[in-house]
């Protein structure tokens, strides 16, 4: 039997109408209403009628994306497909923890709403952002950023893709440095703040208070932590790890390596786009990776025996 890992994407993979088909399912619609009520957020509107500009805002994108991951997990289980392990990129790590039973769906949406609001307040829209650097190894990216004020490595995605983040001026200076160092492309991302950098320290401290109000349980299956690239240990340390996650680089390549090491041979990305699947050829050669971003995609999913 294939050992299946669920993967959950982070901010930037949102798109308008991403929950429209999902919410036609009665169980998912009822769960959406409950999560909206408990977290004081209109998930249905964000998932169906919000436009691209509205969804780009951190405080909107994060709960909407997290709910899509939670809903797709419900549908996967209904089909009898259970996860052996999980990982999520940035805010996707919250959906991964929910999928593994570390907290409930309403709890995770409430936590992510607070995370998004704290991050938005820490970095007002237009003051900072992120960019993907293609064609340079992580060490070369680090050397190019050395001495640049206001720019840092934020996501170690693959050996040839590192995401940087920082202030608008910092990213402008860093882009020139990276191009001079031989980067094939430096691509601005559709996000509104510099996640996973020291600029998020005020948001991380505020988030920690919200996370400590949750009764965390030990995940039922291994969930890889962005902070370390290794599995979360128990439930009591999760608030600290997730606080540090917000202000530290995402070690995504290490997360996937850990999943491969534990025997996962099939990966299913549960999100509205193929944001993570494209990296898997480089990160997990010889394994299969597919994406399922809607009710119909889950129904049509074919997994090896």
Would you please indicate which residues are annotated as catalytic (active-site) residues? Answer: 90, 196
State the Cα–Cα distance between residues 164 and 177, nearest whole angstrom.
12
State the Cα–Cα distance between residues 288 and 4, nearest whole angstrom.
10
Q: Helix 26-39 to helix 105-122 angle, to the nearest 10 degrees?
A: 50
State the Cα–Cα distance between residues 218 and 222, nearest whole angstrom.
9
A 10 A CB-CB count for 80 gives 6
Beta bridge partners of 222: 85
State the Cα–Cα distance between residues 161 and 69, nearest whole angstrom.
24
A 10 A CB-CB count for 26 gives 8
Beta bridge partners of 269: 7, 291
Sheet bearing 288-291, strands edge to edge: 222-224, 85-88, 4-8, 266-269, 288-291
Residue (of 6, 188, 185) closest to 85 by Cα position = 6
State the Cα–Cα distance between residues 26 and 96, nearest whole angstrom.
23
């Amino acid at each position: 039997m294939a050992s299946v890992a669920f993967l959950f994407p982070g901010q930037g993979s949102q798109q308008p109408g991403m929950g429209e088909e999902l919410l036609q399912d009665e169980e998912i619609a009822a769960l959406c209403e409950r999560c909206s009520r408990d977290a004081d957020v209109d998930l249905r509107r964000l998932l169906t009628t919000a436009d691209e500009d509205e969804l780009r805002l951190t405080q909107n994108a994060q709960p909407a994306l997290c709910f899509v991951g939670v809903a797709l997990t419900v549908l996967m289980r209904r089909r009898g497909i259970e996860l052996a392990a999980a990982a999520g990129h940035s805010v996707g790590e919250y959906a991964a923890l929910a999928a593994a039973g570390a907290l409930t769906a309403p709890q995770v949406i409430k936590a992510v709403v607070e995370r998004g609001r704290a991050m938005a307040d820490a970095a007002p829209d237009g003051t900072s952002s992120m960019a993907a650097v293609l064609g340079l190894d992580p060490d070369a990216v680090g050397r190019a950023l050395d001495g640049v004020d206001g720019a840092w490595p934020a996501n170690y995605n693959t050996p040839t893709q590192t995401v940087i983040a920082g202030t608008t001026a910092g990213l402008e200076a860093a882009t020139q440095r990276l191009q001079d160092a031989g980067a094939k492309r430096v691509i601005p991302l559709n996000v509104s703040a510099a996640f996973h950098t020291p600029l998020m320290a005020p948001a991380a401290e505020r988030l920690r208070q919200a996370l400590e109000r949750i009764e965390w349980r030990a995940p039922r299956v291994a969930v890889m932590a962005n902070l370390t690239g290794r599995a979360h240990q128990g439930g009591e340390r999760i608030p600290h790890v997730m606080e540090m996650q917000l202000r530290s680089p995402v070690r995504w390549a290490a997360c996937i390596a850990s999943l491969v090491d534990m025997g996962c041979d099939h990966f299913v990305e549960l999100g509205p786009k193929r944001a993570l699947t494209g990296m898997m050829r480089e990160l997990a050669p010889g394994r299969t990776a597919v994406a399922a971003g809607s009710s119909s995609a889950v129904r049509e999913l074919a997994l090896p025996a």
